[in-house]
Amino acid sequence: MRTRIGTRYELIDEIGSGAMGSVWRGYDTVLDREVAVKLIRLSQARSSAEVAELAERFRREARVTARIRHHGVPQVFDAILDADLAEVCLVMEYVADASTLQYYLSQDIELQVGWAVAVAAQIATTLAYAHALPVVHRDLKPDNILLSADGTVKIIDFGLAALLASNTPKLTMTGMMLGTVAYMSPEQGIGVKPTPRSDLYALGCILYEMLCGRPVFIGSAPTVSHHHAFTDPVPPASLRADIPPDLNMLVLDLLAKSPERRPIDAESVFDRLLALLQSPTTPLCSELVPTGFPDPVEIFRRPNAPRQPGLRRASTPLLGCDAVLPANSELDEQIAAGEAEYQQLVDEGRFAQAADVLARVVPEAAPDSEDRRSLELRRKIAQAFLSGGEFRRAGTTFDQLADGFALLVGPDDELALQCRKFAVTCRAELGELATAVAETRMLLAQVRRSQGDGSQLALELRLSLGRLLTLIGERLEAAVVLNEVYDDLLLLRGTDDAITRAALDALDQLTAIEPPPD
């Protein structure tokens, strides 16, 4: 049962919660894309005045966050605030393949200096953009920093942000301390209005923890708050020998007690971090990234380079040789419900959500399942990827499925051959025409051996080969292939068959682009 927000958004999985509400992964049913939906909980309010303040804070968050049009902050798509405040939510970009920085800090692995510096540099460039608006985050911490699988860093939850313009009223309920004490600047600890340099202090705390494997100060909240105000931090270089002097100094500058003694702005912090990344004392080698960790240095190593395609979150299942779906009534009911919902979404043209719905009934594992039911479920998922234009994901999945069906029932099985055909189709759609031609030739030879030249699949592949040859400029061979398949289709299917008409159209297109005779 899907929960709908308004007439457009459906909630799928809760991915986070806090005092102010919860965050859900959902779908925009109009654009067929994943979104993050932040539901604001107003039931905690103790009076109508607090309800009004929470509603105003929500409006402020929506408008402020929407103004930060930077790749380091998830984009705001929509805001819903009913007149009766029954539904209050913010609809944002869903960062699908990401984990929080806190997750990586909790892995008990010493992070390389270059890794930590690259993460901090990406945070700094995002803060520089936000501070210029001017917007201050006020609660920067590892839980509010996401790392995508490709190493991109995003800052989330500007829910405590406040416009710094002088005419903006301060929105803080009585007795509420805004921020997280482990990363809270000394001035925030005593209730002074935070500034961009308060965010820089929090960045210093985060960078310290990445480098040293522990927070700047440890203890109860009052103890930590006292240390932030009065205790000098232990220099990072005294805890770790490979920290360069310039980086040690930058961390200590960021952790200065007085805001005026910290770096002047986030841009200057970025410049100092970038200099460290370009220094031979801060290696940028990918092999230094721990297994399973994203590489935040890649964006600096190859600026503006294309991101790796096909990176997806682990929650999208990939079947494996041990992934056998047990036959039981409960699972049968789940699969039947998933397939029914899948078909409904496909009929509505919502292919991305259809694939997601069916993927949730398939267990996670590695490729090459030996269970036919699992393979057939994944074939439907791959078909949804293809129909929705996600050709790279579809092609990768069809390749895995072809191998799985070949292992299960043999390489000449119809489903194995169909999956290879769809994989080739994806290659062609991605513009990999030479590869598509070569793979079509090999697949056609296999089909001819097993099925003959006049089977449905052989005729489709012959027509596809002729079209591909036309696209790569091999018009003479294309004419031979298309004329031969057209003659066979006339004999086997007649003039009214759909594939016969398609072959005739392909010949007409070839004739239209052929150069006139000399």
* Active site members: 139
Token couple for 348? 């509505």
Token couple for 275? 């200099």
Task: Give the long-range contacts of residues 382-387, CB within 8 A, separation 24 or more.
Answer: 382/419, 382/422, 383/422, 384/342, 384/346, 384/351, 384/352, 384/354, 384/355, 384/358, 385/351, 385/355, 386/422, 386/425, 386/426, 387/346, 387/351
Beta strands in 156-278 (DSSP E): 162-163
| Residue spans of alpha helices (H) in 193-234 | 196-212, 221-230
Give bridge partners of residue 24 from the DSSP assignment: 14, 37
Q: Which helix (H) or strand (E) holds 423?
A: helix 414-429
Residue 434 CB-half CA count within 13 A: 0
How far is Cα 490 from Cα 55, in angstroms, rounded to an integer?
A: 69
How far is Cα 185 from Cα 191, in angstroms, rounded to an integer?
A: 10
Q: What DSSP designation does 108 have?
A: -
Residue 344 CB-half CA count within 13 A: 10
φ, ψ dihedrals at 147, nearest 5°: -115, 120
How far is Cα 114 from Cα 243, in angstroms, rounded to an integer?
A: 10
Cβ pair 156, 123 in contact under 8 A: no
Cβ pair 273, 127 in contact under 8 A: no
Which residues are within 8 A (CB) of 476 and not within 5 positions of it... i.e. 6 or more apart? Answer: none
User: Judging by beta carbons within 10 Å of its beta carbon (0-12, 13-18, 19+), is residue 498 exposed, middle or buried?
Assistant: exposed
How far is Cα 29 from Cα 33, in angstroms, rounded to an integer?
A: 7
Cβ pair 427, 443 in contact under 8 A: no
Q: How far are the Cα atoms of 113, 122, 260, 293 from residue 64, in angstroms, in the given order?
A: 33, 20, 26, 32
Cα dihedral sign, 392-394-396-402: negative
Which residues are within 8 A (CB) of 472 and not within 5 positions of it... i.e. 6 or more apart? Answer: 433, 434, 437
Token couple for 169? 């009223």
